[in-house]
Every structure is written in structure tokens, then in C-alpha cells.
Amino acid sequence: MKKKAAMLLAAFMLAGCGNGLYDQSMEQGKLALAGGEFDKALASFELALEEKPDDKEAEAVYKQLSAYKNIEAAAEQAQWDQVVEEGNALIKEKELGKSLKKPVEQFIHTAQAAKENEQLAAEKVDTAKQLAEDKKYEEAQEVIDEIKQDENLQAAYAGFASEVDKIAADIQSGQQNEAEAEKEAAVQAAEEAAAAVAVSQKTTYYQKLDRIERGLADLDYIYETGTTVEIREAETERYKRWDDALNEIYGVLKKELPSGEMEQLRQAQREWIKFRDETAEEAASSFSGGSWESVQYKSTQADVTRNRCYELVDRYMD
């Protein structure tokens, strides 16, 4: 009799311990759920189910939390259709608590906004692509800039980045081809005009300088869209073209001017070189210490050298 009583007491104590763990897990799960600690809540309700596998309350909340975690994972992977579908399904559950309902609603709202932005970004990308194909390069570039600068489209833009980069490359290539075609046409027209009419040396060099001026259009795209480094390289190239022209003009004058006049020009040219560099330094000083300092220096050198080309042609050539 005593042995049987001891066995019953032990069974009762074990059952009490089991129920105690279940009750504790349920209490901790509810507290975590109310506090928005969903991972902790999920673990607690899972433990409660291990103690009471058929418990309806624990099973219902566990399923809701599991569904929420699936929605959360889908949002992290930008699977917006899944977020909306599973989120709406979870919202419809009658027993869904406010602590879960509110974040689920927020996920749905975020997903819907993201889908709208993706659609808008896709439409703009298609528009830019069509404009580029129609050789409306400036308009296409404006659309691409809108996509990149619109903060609401930044997340959606990531999915179209490679396509946008390709369109941008097509725009740059198309503009360069157009610039080269315009340059070739201008050169041909000038050559045809020169062949048809005998012109003076001064006129010939004015035409050469004007062709250089028009040919600089191939750098316009860099000035509009390039980085500081790319713009500095473009200004260096512009200066080089004018400096080459100046050296050519100086070489012609060196052969044609009387020795006395050439000596005066040689001295004037030395003074001009000092003037060119001092002027460039003064202009660049406004940006001292900044990345634009070297850009301004080369830009000023190019401007001063260009003016010197026209000055020498005007003063010394017939």
C-alpha cells in the first residue's frame, strides 16, 4: 500500500513539473509576443508544444509566428508578391493578436510601395531605352538621371542597374558617334570650301582654329556627366589641342617672319608663357586644396592658349 502511494505521489509530481514547464513556456511566449520579441516567442511556444503537442492555443500562435517569420524572410529577399499574399492571409485570421497584426500590416504596406516603385522604375527604364534607340540621347539621359536621383526608386533601381548601365553606355557611344560625324562633316565642308576658293594664310588658320573649336564637342558629354577626374582629363586634352595648334602657328611664323621681328616674338612668347601659368595659378587658387583646383588650372591654361592662337594669327599672318 505504501509502495503504491509513493508511486502515485511520484507520478503526480512529474505531471506537476511537466505542466509547470508548459505553463512557464506559455507565459514567457505571451510576454515575448506582446513585447515584439517574435523569435523568443516562437521558441517558447515551440517548447510548450513539446510539452503538450495537442494544445490548440500553443499550436495556433506557433503557426502564426511561423507564418510571420516566412513573411519577414520574404521581405528581406524583396519577394514582394509573397509578402503581400502571405501577409493578407495572416491578417484574415480571427485570432491574430495586435502585436503581430501591426508589423504584418507594415510589411504589406512596404511590399505594395516597393512593387509600385519597381513598376515605375521599369517604365522609366523602358522609356530611356526607347529614347536611346530613337537617338534622342539627351532625353534618354534625363530619364536615367531621374531614376538615379529619385530617392523613392533607389531600392527598385538596384534590380535594373545593369540594364541602366547598358543604356548609359549606348547613349555615350551614340553621342560620340554623332560628334565624330559632325566633326567629319565640318572638316569636309571646310576642306571643300578651301579647295573651291583660294584663301589667305590668315583665313586658312582661322578655319583650322575653328575646326578645333567645333571638334571639342566630343568632350561635352564628359563635362556634363563625368567625374572630377574625368573632367580634369578632358580639360588636359582640350589644352593639348590648343597647345599643338599654337606650336604649329609658331613654327610657321618662325619660318616666315624677318629675323628681327621673330626675335621680338620669341621674347614676347617667353613672357606670354609666364602670363599663361600665372593666370592659371590665380584662377585655380580659388579652389586651393580641393579636387577642382587642378581642373581649373588646366581649364585656364586651355582658354589662355586658345586666345593666344587667334592673337598670333590675327597679328602676324596675312
C-alpha 97/C-alpha 76 separation (Å) is 23
Chain segment 218-261, per-residue pLDDT in tens? 999 998 998 999 999 999 999 999 999 999 999 999 999 999 99
Which of these ranges, 157-161, 199-203, 296-300, has the smallest mean pLDDT? Answer: 157-161
- CA 32, CA 235: separation in Å to the nearest integer? 64
Looking at residue 154, its amino acid is Q
Three-state secondary structure readout of the chain: CHHHHHHHHHHHHHHHHHHHHHHHHHHHHHHHHHCCCHHHHHHHHHHHHHHCCCCHHHHHHHHHHHHHHHHHHHHHCCCHHHHHHHHHHHHCCCCCCHHHHHHHHHHHHHHHHHHHHHHHHHHHHHHHHHHHHCCCHHHHHHHHHHHHHCHHHHHHHHHHHHHHHHHHHHHHHHHHHHHHHHHHHHHHHHHHHHHHCCCCHHHHHHHHHHHHHHHHHHHHHHHHHCCHHHHHHHHHHHHHHHHHHHHHHHHHHHHHCCHHHHHHHHHHHHHHHHHHHHHHHHHHHHHCCCCCHHHHHHHHHHHHHHHHHHHHHHHHCC
How many C-beta atoms lie closer than 10 Å to residue 27's C-beta? 12
pLDDT band at 195 (very low <50, low <70, confident <90, very high): low
The larger pLDDT score, comparing residue 17 to residue 254, is at 254
pLDDT value of position 1: 32
Query: Would you list the domain boundaries of the chain?
Result: 19-123, 199-318
What is the rounded average pLDDT for all residues in the chain?
A: 86
* Residue 273 confidence (pLDDT): 96
More confident residue, 10 or 121: 121
Q: Return the C-alpha cell found at 278.
A: 600665372
pLDDT in tens, 308-318: 999 999 999 98
Spatial CA neighbour of 41 closest among 22, 72, 65, 24: 65
- Look at residues 102, 171, 71 and name the one whose alpha carbon lies nearest to residue 130: 171
Residue 5 has pLDDT above 60, yes or no: no
Residues comprising the chain, all counted: 318
pLDDT recorded at residue 14: 38
By the 10 Å C-beta count (0-12 exposed, 13-18 middle, 19+ buried), 214 is classed as middle
What per-residue confidence (pLDDT) applies to 193?
61
pLDDT > 60? residue 18: no
Contact 216, 180 (CB under 8 A): no
Among the ranges given (69-73, 147-151, 205-209, 219-223), the one the predictor scored with the smallest mean pLDDT: 147-151
Percentage, residues of the chain above pLDDT 90: 50
What is the maximum alpha-carbon separation in the chain? 141
Radius of gyration of the chain from its Cα atoms, rounded to whole angstroms = 39
pLDDT of amino acid 12: 35
pTM flag (> 0.75): no
pLDDT digit string, tens, across residues 260-289: 999 999 999 999 999 999 999 999 999 998
Question: Has residue 125 got a pLDDT over 50?
Answer: yes
Question: For residue 66, how many other CB atoms are within 10 A of its CB?
Answer: 13
Q: Which amino acid is at 113?
A: A
High-pLDDT (> 70) share of the chain, %:
91
Residue 197 has pLDDT above 50, yes or no: no
pLDDT at 94 over 50: yes
CATH 1.10.1330 fits 199-318, yes or no: no
Q: At CA 80, angle to CA 74 and CA 84, rounded to 5?
A: 95
